[in-house]
Amino acid sequence: MENTATMTTLNLVPPGRRCVIRKIEVRGALRRRLLDMGMAPGADVEVIRVAPLGDPIEIKIKGFLLSIRKEDAVFIHVEMDLHHAQDEKPDKR
């Protein structure tokens, strides 16, 4: 079974999935804020849930919970494992 990773942006990661930050494609205040909160390349992130009204999203990083808007999360490039322990299906072949 291949263990391919997929590159995407944080706002597209579905709840319950883990990913690793690869790059922050924005400058200025948002970048600094993200970095200060530990959202730096190499950090592990778990997307916990989406708010009842659809935005923002709640993630877990370095052991604490963070709330971030999808429009800001779009700048965070992450690498997500395609095969996730929870949705492994039995091999049909």
Partner 1 sequence: MRRMKNRTNGDTAADRTDHALVVAIAGNPNAGKTTLFNALTGARQHVGNWPGVTVEKKEGLLEHNGRSLTIVDLPGTYSLTAYSMEEVIARDYIVNERPDVVVNIVDASNLERNLYMTVQLLEMGAPVILALNMIDAAEAAGLRIDHEQLGALLGVPVVPMVARTGKGRVELLDEVLKRPPAANIRVPYGHDIEAAIDRIIRAMQKDNPAAALPLDTRVTAIKLLENDSVVEKNVRNTYSENILTIRDRHCEKIEQTHGDDAETLIVDRRYGYISGLMREVVARPPLDKRTVTDRIDAVLTDRALGLPIFFFAVWATFHLTFTLGSPPMHWLDALFGWLGGLVSSTLPDSLLRSVIVDAVIGGVGGVIVFLPNILLLFFAIALLEDTGYMARAAFIMDRVMHRLGLHGKSFIPLLIGFGCSVPAIMATRTLENNKDRIVTILVTPLMSCGARLPVYTLLAGAFFAPAAAGNVIFSIYLIGILFAAFLARLYRAKLLKGDQTPFVMELPPYRLPTLKSVLMHCWERAWLYLKKAGTVILGIAIILWALMTFPMNFPGREKMETEIARAQTRAEKLGETDPRRARLLDRVDELDHEMASQQLLHSYAGRTGRALEPILKPIGFNWKTGIALIAGFAAKEVIVSTMGTIYSIGEEDTGSGKLKRALRRDPIFRPLTAYVLMLFVLLTVPCMATLAAIRRETNSWTWPAFSLAYHTVLAWTVCFVVYQGGRLIGL
Q: Taking phi first (over 0 means left), then psi (-120 to 50 degrees means alpha), and beta for anything else, what does residue 54 get?
A: left
CB of 83 to partner 1, least distance (A): 17
Residue list 21-50, contact with partner 1 (CB under 8 A): 23-24, 28-43, 48-50
CB of 53 to partner 1, least distance (A): 4
Spatial CA neighbour of 62 closest among 80, 36, 83: 36
CB of 93 to partner 1, least distance (A): 30
Label residues 53-66 b or e (16+ Cβ within 10 Å = b). Answer: eeebbebebeeeeb
Per CB under 8 A, residues contacting partner 1 are 23-24, 28-43, 48-56, 58, 62-69, 72
